[in-house]
């Protein structure tokens, strides 16, 4: 059960704790994916080829990222298993159904 951190301060916030007794969990598949693979799967699901403009790394870009689900597994006993192919396919179907695509 989450508990408040009485020493939490908005002046120097600790993103891992809060003054509120709630928890947020990163719910993502924690396997690393290449951006080009993501784009290829998206292209396949949409039946379109993206117009790509390759550029050097931009401010704010990160070379690698993935969801750290350790807290979710430890505290909720749930580990996401959705593949990038399945997740993008489901998202595209939802988006097109919702926005008409």
Structure-block tokens of residue 74: 């430890």
pTM for this structure? 0.69
d(Cα 3, Cα 73) in Å, to the nearest integer? 18
User: What pLDDT score does 85 carry?
Assistant: 95
Map out the domains of the chain with their CATH numbers.
35-100 (3.90.25.10)
- Contact between 20 and 73 under an 8 Å Cβ cutoff? The reply is no
Alpha carbon distance 45, 4 (integer Å):
43
- In tens, the pLDDT along 60-86 reads 998 888 888 999 999 899 998 999 999
Residue by residue, pLDDT tens for the chain (101 residues) are 678 888 888 898 887 777 676 778 888 888 888 889 999 999 999 999 999 999 999 999 988 888 889 999 998 999 989 999 999 999 999 999 999 87
Structure tokens at 78: 């749930």
């Amino acid at each position: 059960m989450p508990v408040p951190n009485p020493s939490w301060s908005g002046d120097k916030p600790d993103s891992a704790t809060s003054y509120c007794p709630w928890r947020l969990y990163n719910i993502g598949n924690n396997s690393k994916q290449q951006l080009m693979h993501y784009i290829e799967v998206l292209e396949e699901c949409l039946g379109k080829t993206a117009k790509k403009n390759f550029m050097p790394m931009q401010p704010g870009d990160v070379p690698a990222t993935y969801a750290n689900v350790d807290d979710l597994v430890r505290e909720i006993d749930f580990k996401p298993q959705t593949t990038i192919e399945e997740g993008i396919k489901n998202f595209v179907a939802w988006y097109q159904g919702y926005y008409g695509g």
